[in-house]
Structure 1
Amino acid sequence: MQASPIQTAQGQTGQASALAPFRYPAFRAIWTANLFSNIGAMIQSVGAAWLMTELTDSHVLVALVQASATIPILLLGLFAGAIADNFDRRRVMLAAQTGMLVVSAILATLSYTGNVGPWSLLALTLMVGMGTALNGPAWQASVRLQVGRADLPQAISLNAISFNLARSVGPALGGILISLWSTSLAFALNAVSYIGMIVVLMLWRPVATPPRREPMLAAIVRGLRFCAASPPILKVLARGLLIGFGAAGLQALMPSIARDMLHGTELDYGLMLGGFGVGSILTAFRISKVRQRFGSEAVVTAATVIFAAALVLMASATSIPMAVAATFLGGMGWASTMTSLNVAMQLRSPEDILGRCLSIYQAITFGGMALGAWVWGALADATSLETALHGAAIWLIASLAMHFIAPMPTREEGRIDSVPAR
């Protein structure tokens, strides 16, 4: 029987090298396609956020563009996790990617014809968020099918680097394209960017145990019971909720900061997002070794302090370079935290309910971000952007109490080591 064009490497012993996952053909192909898809998503994110600043003066509505991408993860995440565990994860990702392509194409058409308003923009970005919610658990759970178990932490870090590479290039590119043409081009390019991932997924034929089907509600309850009964996972979920809520202060308000605080353009906003991405990339390359040496708790605590410092610096920013420096710090804190939390969840979740465990993690973390986007946006409307940024920084510093109440799990605490390497 002829081999599929994209196969997962078999019979290789995982190594601790940061680039070891690239030895696997499936990981290489999916990582590359995902990079271009992420660039398209970041271009669209810049377009949607900046378009909202042109459609309304409300800081809340501008912040809700960010929240619209994360609210579906909160509302639909548990169902998405059960779907990822009950069905072929590759097919789930194909369905989600195709749906996001269609919605992005509709958004491009409406923007080009001038028929998009604040609420239709939110509705369509919400629909893209629904696709992200469906795709997320299946995507993250499929990493185990692409690399050996020993290379899993490095693969997770490389996936974070892919996203943050896109976050470095995409925003500046998006700002340039919007200034040269219009937001409709940003939305159209995002629609095109899904094609590569769809093709790669159609060619990929992973070797996986067929999923055991369970009734949807029973599957969700099983995942919730496991997470609720696992003290290490509860610690991770608590940190994700608290940090996500505070981190939203920087990410959701960034378009308003560029426009109202700094009187910048769409290109300036793209540069600010690019600074966030560069900080994330430089951190993601080294964070695995730092975590191995000092432990997850030390990394998450330091990252929280760094992100709080970024918020304070942004609140006092008087120029675009100063704002880019703040977002660079924010990117360092974000990558350190999110990579550490994701690895902690993956290593403590059984394979047969991995999608549900990751969906619970995503629902809580990104649900915290969605709620934070609304709270900090409302506070900015009621007071000022500077006050909202300082409030988010104070929240993150207060969350450091978890260092004493519920520290991150130690290296061997709660680990699941029953999954064979592929």
Structure 2
Amino acid sequence: MMLGFELGAAIGIWILVLAVQWTMTQAGESAFAVSAVQFAASLPFFLLSLPLGAVAEHAGHRTLLTGTAIGLLITSAVLTALQALDLATTPVLMAAVFLSGCGLASVAIVWQSLLPTLATREMMTVVPAIDGAIFNGARAIGPVLGGALLAAWGATSTFGLVTVVFAICVVLAASQIPPRSGRVPKTESVLESVATSLRFIRHSRWTRRLLFRVVMFGLPASCLWALLPVVAYEMLHVTTIEFGVLSGAIGVGAVAGTIASMPLRSRLSWNVFAALGSAAYALVLLGIAVVAWMPVVVALLVIVGAAWVGVQSTWMIATHAVVPPWIKARVIAVVMLTFQGSQAVGALLWGFLADTMGLVSAVVVSAIAMSVSSIGLLRRGILPSDSIAPDPSGAAGPPELEPHHRGATIVVETTYAVLPQRADHFVHAMTRLRSSRLRLGASRWALTRVSDSASTYVEFCTFRNWSEYSAQETVRLTVPERLVRTDLALDLAEEPRVRVLVRPRTPADRTEST
């Protein structure tokens, strides 16, 4: 029944988006204006992903998803009323798409946070792909339903049906999602959580490379979603129902491709699998640019649907497999932010190029860009995951601090007695330790050498409070992160000496807090 919520919400949103796109296309809007619909649907991911990723860890999945469904219900009900009164102008339609995009962002991010509570770690190697097929399967059902409803009953009835779908989603979310799911005790504010996420990404080379590959796929991929209504109307001259079939073909490919590609996925690396999907996507874009025959385009869109969900799910499978649990929901949110942000920017870019250099030329340029992305995956793809694999180290953690010091800034001083012949290697190894410390929560890091002892080095790590330091030494310390520290043992003459320093509260601090 929980899958019914995800499927229903996505179907309703895609019916609404398709209805708005096709209504604007038939009204004679420019390619840029039509592509702006995709921008409006994607922009909420860019704006809300990080806050939602932070909130999803402790606010409760039932609360968030029920609230999202209520918001979607209100949006579609108001749009239905305005359409019935002939007041649904272009700004109103765009606002409805934007609010629906907010709902889609919330469903996608909170759902990804919910998945690990429903499946084992072994199952998570395939669950994101299956979930992606379900989520994208909505693109098979939604557009076909939307096209049929638009042709048979018109926009008002179409928006009215979407309202009914969202009402059902409210009931499913409130009754089927476990009440305690996602209620992890809150240890930091939303802003602090966002800052921790950005710091982790900044100092995680693996995550930065993943996000780069996401952008390199997302920008050219957005051309299809942004310009498909214009291609269908100007090049294929299709009816409303036929446009629904074209859009639905992508969803059919997403579902069928997920099932058909399972054996292939198990034999190929993430990079090779994603490169093949990107290459297929590029060929489809090129085919759409040169072939203006409906049956061929439908077949091409089935292929592109399989490629679309195959590449997207590869990013999610990699993230679930590699990123540690304490930061996973937030990194997933950033992956979605990056992908949807590239979709939003790309939609405007391809709409602008279609208006200035022609529709066919814009699609050909996107095909070339996707080919470059495919080759890049083979040459500079996702990095090996050894440095941030999620296996916990089982460390006991530091001794407890006196309660009245726990809110104060913590500075950890570690003194190393280095073997003289290993000094150069030690300094090099400390650059890896620096990244690890900052990745796991330290706000500042410095390494100094004692002036009168060439073999004695002192490391200073600053933490916002005791909870941040304790988390770094326990729940955030995975086996690979611990190995970064133990690898220093060969460089040392004795065990490091650690002191925890507490920054005293000054009169200025007391004044600011009152």
**For the superposition of Structure 1 and Structure 2, which TM-score range results when normalised by the shorter chain?**
0.7 to 0.9
Moved more, 333-342 or 402-411: 402-411
| Residue correspondence of structure 1 range 230-269 to structure 2 within 5 A | 230-269=204-243
1:352 maps to 2:326:
yes
**Structure 1 residues 416 and 361, CA gap change in structure 2 (3 angstroms):** same
1:276 maps to 2:276:
no
Opposite residue 224 of structure 2, the aligned amino acid is L
Aligned counterparts of 1:220 and 1:32: Cα–Cα separation in 2:
31
Opposite residue 368 of structure 1, the aligned amino acid is S
Superposition deviation, residue 403 in structure 1: 2.6
Counterpart for residue 136 of structure 2 = 164
Residue from 94, 101, 111 that aligns with 2:66: 94
Aligned counterparts of 2:74 and 2:325: Cα–Cα separation in 1:
32
Aligned counterparts of 2:388 and 2:39: Cα–Cα separation in 1:
32
**Structure 1 residues 399 and 89, CA gap change in structure 2 (3 angstroms):** same
Superposition deviation, residue 270 in structure 1: 0.8
Residue from 403, 409, 415 that aligns with 2:377: 403
Counterpart for residue 316 of structure 2 = 342
Opposite residue 241 of structure 1, the aligned amino acid is V
Aligned residue pairs total: 391
Aligned counterparts of 1:112 and 1:317: Cα–Cα separation in 2:
39
Asked if the contact 2:275/2:378 (under 8 Å) is kept, the reply is: no
Counterpart for residue 127 of structure 2 = 155
Counterpart for residue 10 of structure 2 = 38
Residue from 159, 168, 182 that aligns with 1:196: 168
Opposite residue 14 of structure 2, the aligned amino acid is M
Superposition deviation, residue 321 in structure 1: 1.2
Superimposed CA distance per residue, residues 393-415 of structure 1 (whole angstroms, 9 cap, x where no aligned partner): 11111223433553124476633
Superimposed CA distance per residue, residues 307-363 of structure 1 (whole angstroms, 9 cap, x where no aligned partner): 000100111122211221221121121011001011111222233332211111111
Structure 2: runs of 5 or more not aligned: 394-514
Residue from 370, 374, 378 that aligns with 2:344: 370
Counterpart for residue 322 of structure 1 = 296
Task: Give the aligned CA root-mean-square deviation in angstroms.
Answer: 2.0
Aligned counterparts of 1:113 and 1:124: Cα–Cα separation in 2:
16
Asked if the contact 1:37/1:196 (under 8 Å) is kept, the reply is: no
Superposition deviation, residue 288 in structure 1: 4.1
Superposition deviation, residue 163 in structure 1: 2.1
Aligned counterparts of 2:187 and 2:58: Cα–Cα separation in 1:
5
Asked if the contact 1:90/1:138 (under 8 Å) is kept, the reply is: no
Aligned counterparts of 2:83 and 2:383: Cα–Cα separation in 1:
47
Counterpart for residue 50 of structure 1 = 22
Superposition deviation, residue 200 in structure 1: 2.6
Structure 1: runs of 5 or more not aligned: 1-28
Superposition deviation, residue 391 in structure 1: 0.9
Counterpart for residue 93 of structure 2 = 121
Aligned counterparts of 2:85 and 2:368: Cα–Cα separation in 1:
44
SS in 2 for 1:149: coil
Superposition deviation, residue 131 in structure 1: 2.3
Aligned counterparts of 1:259 and 1:273: Cα–Cα separation in 2:
13
Superimposed CA distance per residue, residues 30-57 of structure 1 (whole angstroms, 9 cap, x where no aligned partner): 1123223322222222211111113342
Opposite residue 56 of structure 2, the aligned amino acid is A
**Structure 1 residues 289 and 110, CA gap change in structure 2 (3 angstroms):** same
1:228 maps to 2:210:
no
Structure with the bigger percentage of strand:
2
Moved more, 64-73 or 210-219: 210-219
Relative contact order (alpha carbons < 8 A, sep ≥ 6): 1 or 2 greater? 1
Residue from 75, 82, 86 that aligns with 2:47: 75
Counterpart for residue 406 of structure 2 = none
Aligned counterparts of 1:260 and 1:371: Cα–Cα separation in 2:
23
Counterpart for residue 60 of structure 1 = 32
**Structure 1 residues 317 and 62, CA gap change in structure 2 (3 angstroms):** same
Asked if the contact 2:265/2:273 (under 8 Å) is kept, the reply is: yes
Superposition deviation, residue 100 in structure 1: 1.4
Aligned counterparts of 2:62 and 2:313: Cα–Cα separation in 1:
23
Residue from 259, 263, 267 that aligns with 1:293: 267
Asked if the contact 1:85/1:354 (under 8 Å) is kept, the reply is: no
Counterpart for residue 19 of structure 1 = none
SS in 2 for 1:400: helix
Aligned counterparts of 1:278 and 1:406: Cα–Cα separation in 2:
31
Opposite residue 299 of structure 1, the aligned amino acid is F
Aligned counterparts of 1:181 and 1:227: Cα–Cα separation in 2:
49
Moved more, 357-366 or 193-202: 193-202
Moved more, 87-96 or 296-305: 87-96
Moved more, 203-212 or 282-291: 203-212
SS in 2 for 1:111: helix
Asked if the contact 1:97/1:131 (under 8 Å) is kept, the reply is: yes
Residue from 364, 367, 370 that aligns with 1:393: 367
Moved more, 200-209 or 135-144: 200-209
Q: Rg larger in 1 or in 2?
A: 2
Counterpart for residue 176 of structure 1 = 148
1:416 maps to 2:390:
yes
Superposition deviation, residue 386 in structure 1: 0.6
Aligned counterparts of 2:86 and 2:111: Cα–Cα separation in 1:
34
